[in-house]
Amino acid sequence: MKKLMRSFMSETTCHGFSHIYRSKSLFMKGFWTISLLVLMLTFWFSVLTLFAEFLERKIISQTTTERADMTGLQIPSLIICNRNFFSMKKLQSGAGPERETQGLNPCQASHSPSDFGLDSNASSYLMLMAGNPILAKTNLSEEDQAVLRQADLAVRNVLWQRNLTLSQLINALSYTCEELIASCMHNFNYLKGSECCKYYVHTETQLGLCHMYVSRPESRQVLNGEYMGVSLYLSVPEDDVPDLSRHILDMTKVTKFGLQMTVTSNLTYPNLAVVSQGTTVTPGAHTSIALQLTEINEEKVKTPIDVWEPPCIPAHSLDFRQDVGAFLDNNINCFDGIILRCFHEMCGCALYGMRLEDTPMCTLNETRDCYRLLFLELSKFMNTNAFDNLPAGDEDEVVLEKARQCIVYVHSECQNRRVCQHSEYDYTVTTSPIHPKIMDVIVQDLNIENASKVASVTVFFSTMDYTLIKLSRMSQEEVISDLGGYMGLCLGSSIITWIEIVIYKVTLIFTFFKAVTKVFLCKLQHSELESSFLKARNLQQNAQP
Ligand SMILES: *[C@@H]1O[C@H](CO)[C@@H](O)[C@H](O)[C@H]1NC(C)=O
Ligand SMILES: *[C@@H]1O[C@H](CO)[C@@H](O)[C@H](O)[C@H]1NC(C)=O
Ligand SMILES: *[C@@H]1O[C@H](CO)[C@@H](O)[C@H](O)[C@H]1NC(C)=O
Ligand SMILES: *[C@@H]1O[C@H](CO)[C@@H](O)[C@H](O)[C@H]1NC(C)=O
Ligand SMILES: *[C@@H]1O[C@H](CO)[C@@H](O)[C@H](O)[C@H]1NC(C)=O
Ligand SMILES: *[C@@H]1O[C@H](CO)[C@@H](O)[C@H](O)[C@H]1NC(C)=O
């Protein structure tokens, strides 16, 4: 046995042991033994930590700065909205010629273009129907309620007379793309307004009708510089802002006016994004929006051992124009998805900018009640007091419970569904006035109406560098390589050592077993001899007397 031990100590690939064995002096032997013990403890501690980390399945993020390759960077989606929602002229004068060409209202051709007859009270009411219910005045007096009823009647009247749906009416009162975009430059293509508008789709959002350029992979900026991205000349209509009614709207929430430009990724749900972010475009000035891209890659979050994790969703399969349900059902739009789905679930009707399927439009009363209840539950769910100042009412426990279940369900469905790759855009905005002389030339060249002012907007990447965030979970290969690292570093060993140890153990056990059997057999023989000897002695003793 000693021989075996000796051969193991001297021959093992774990060279710590051979040092102990080969050291001549007792001091060195002691030193090596202690060092080896400490290293072994370190090793086991590290290995246990490693396995604990591996089993935790935590998501690790790694941030690097990258430089775009020759194909450049993809230009984000751009959304142009009107903060005033409607055109004053259209409210007053009824049909503009654009409506028939846009095909929003085919029946209109048979009507003579007469007044819509919507006064400021009615248009503010319509603005509420189109926009976010947050804009509504909360503490309504008797007079306000009368105004509201009057406005409701006026809007219904117009809808009935003209045979329009609510969204048709809202769209008819908003600016068309051709009215807003005078010219644009995408990818060095200089286009006139009507041609630009082929790239823009009209989108019903919570800011009324907006026009959106949907970011596509083929539209890219390849060089840095202010005019290398998208340039737009917008015609901002002057003196066309509808009057707002203080009886209907909360005036503190409608302070922004004019055209607004929102920059988002093409995976962000635009209908709510326009409310939360955007830059107001100043007429007669140049607005430059310098972008900074952050790309988030979540492809490696699911490793082969994360069987419970759904596979990531490829970005190109998501398009809000084709399938809103799928577009919302992932962790990017989780919050918007909760609002949309649970609103539907609770009310059974839709808002102008928040339609999931073909459901009827909500009345203002329905909207307000559902919104309030939904946000009441949401604030409980998110543990915030953000919505505490919502007007109190007699809450129906059954409806609240329904909302609660819906929120929890939708949240659990969407929070773990990752999109493989998505982008976030940060931007800085600078505005500088355009010289009046240059302005005159531009106005002439672009053939813009007298009553409008020109606003120039450029959207571009100020640098071709971008931030890449890679999210991942620890894979089994990483564990193995880390294990190898610790083994080599602390013990100077490898898998071969472990095989050696196993062989040594087996041999040891075998030898030990053999030795024990031998001793046992010896003893057995010995005791047999002894007992026979005793027997013989007894016999002798018995025989003597
Ligand atoms: C809106 O309603 C208020 C209260 O009835 C009224 O004083 C006001 O004149 C109305 N506005 C218009 C433009 O009719
Ligand atoms: C609501 O309005 C009434 C008068 O119209 C006023 O007396 C009351 O204090 C207001 N309540 C709140 C919470 O503002
Ligand atoms: C109203 O419009 C719908 C389609 O939008 C049409 O089917 C219907 O006949 C119209 N009604 C009248 C009275 O014109
Ligand atoms: C959005 O951008 C991604 C990334 O380039 C692309 O794969 C996808 O097709 C785009 N979506 C649409 C609807 O164009
Ligand atoms: C909306 O609710 C108010 C009371 O909160 C009521 O007076 C009004 O008639 C309702 N309007 C409609 C159209 O149901
Ligand atoms: C614009 O204004 C000029 C002078 O102010 C006038 O001659 C011209 O006819 C106007 N054009 C339009 C389209 O109104």
36-50, 238-252, 349-363: range with lowest mean pLDDT: 349-363
Give residue 108's pLDDT band: very low, low, confident or very high (50, 70, 90).
very low
10-14, 83-87, 223-227, 329-333: range with lowest mean pLDDT: 10-14
- How many A from CA of 200 to the centre of ligand 3? 29
Nearest to 465, CA basis, from 197, 200, 79, 73: 73
* Ligand 4 atom index nearest CA of 319: 13
User: 449 CB under 6 A from ligand 6?
Assistant: yes
Distance in angstroms (rounded) separating the CA atoms of residues 234 and 283? 9
Out of 145, 365, 394, mutate this one to test ligand 5's pocket (max ligand atoms within 8 Å of CB): namely 365
Which two tokens mark 474?
């620890």
Nearest to 429, CA basis, from 453, 455, 454, 458: 458
Question: Relative to the alpha carbon of 242, which ligand is closest?
Answer: 1
pLDDT of 495 > 60? The answer is yes
Angle, vertex CA 224, rays to CA 223 and CA 226, nearest 5: 120
Per the DSSP assignment, residues forming a β-bridge with 423 are 295
521-537 mean pLDDT: 74
- How many A from CA of 450 to the centre of ligand 6? 6
- How many A from CA of 164 to the centre of ligand 5? 23
Q: What is the pLDDT of residues 429-440, one digit of tens each?
A: 999 999 988 888
Characterize the bridge pairing of strands 279-280 and 259-264: antiparallel
Nearest CA to ligand 4 atom 7: 316
- How many A from CA of 172 to the centre of ligand 2? 36
Per the model's pLDDT, the better-predicted residue between 266 and 132 turns out to be: 266
Which two tokens mark 363?
């009345």
- How many A from CA of 162 to the centre of ligand 3? 9
Distance in angstroms (rounded) separating the CA atoms of residues 524 and 532? 12
Per the model's pLDDT, the better-predicted residue between 403 and 452 turns out to be: 403
Nearest CA to ligand 6 atom 12: 450
Phi-psi region of 252 (alpha: psi -120 to 50; beta: other; left: phi over 0): alpha
Nearest CA to ligand 5 atom 7: 145
In the chain, the N- to C-terminal Cα span, in Å, equals 53
Give residue 260's pLDDT band: very low, low, confident or very high (50, 70, 90).
very high
Token look-up 């890679």 returns 470
What is the pLDDT at residue 98? 37
Count of residues for the chain?
A: 545
Residues with CB under 6 A from ligand 3: 107, 163
Q: Provide the residue ranges of all domains of the chain, joining segments of one domain with +.
A: 2-56+499-534, 66-331+416-472, 332-415
What is the pLDDT at residue 528? 75
Give the DSSP H or E segment for 33: helix 26-56
pLDDT of 407 > 60? The answer is yes
Choose the CATH number for 66-331+416-472 among 3.30.465.10, 2.60.470.10, 3.40.50.140, 3.30.230.10.
Answer: 2.60.470.10
- How many A from CA of 219 to the centre of ligand 3? 41
99-108, 369-378, 402-411, 438-447: range with lowest mean pLDDT: 99-108
Task: Enter the pTM of the model.
Answer: 0.80
pLDDT of 226 > 50? The answer is yes
User: 440 CB under 6 A from ligand 6?
Assistant: no
pLDDT of 356 > 80? The answer is no
- How many A from CA of 67 to the centre of ligand 4? 20
Give residue 458's pLDDT band: very low, low, confident or very high (50, 70, 90).
very high
pLDDT of 56 > 50? The answer is yes
Distance in angstroms (rounded) separating the CA atoms of residues 429 and 279? 8
Distance in angstroms (rounded) separating the CA atoms of residues 106 and 367? 29
What is the pLDDT at residue 388? 64
User: pLDDT > 90: what percent of the chain?
Assistant: 32
What is the pLDDT at residue 214? 93
Amino acid at 59: I
Distance in angstroms (rounded) separating the CA atoms of residues 365 and 344? 15
Nearest CA to ligand 4 atom 12: 216
Q: Say if CB 301 and CB 59 are below 8 A apart.
A: yes
Give residue 65's pLDDT band: very low, low, confident or very high (50, 70, 90).
very high
Distance in angstroms (rounded) separating the CA atoms of residues 221 and 180? 24
Q: How many Cα atoms occupy the beta-carbon half-sphere of 531 within 13 Å?
A: 6
User: 450 CB under 6 A from ligand 6?
Assistant: yes
pLDDT of 100 > 50? The answer is no
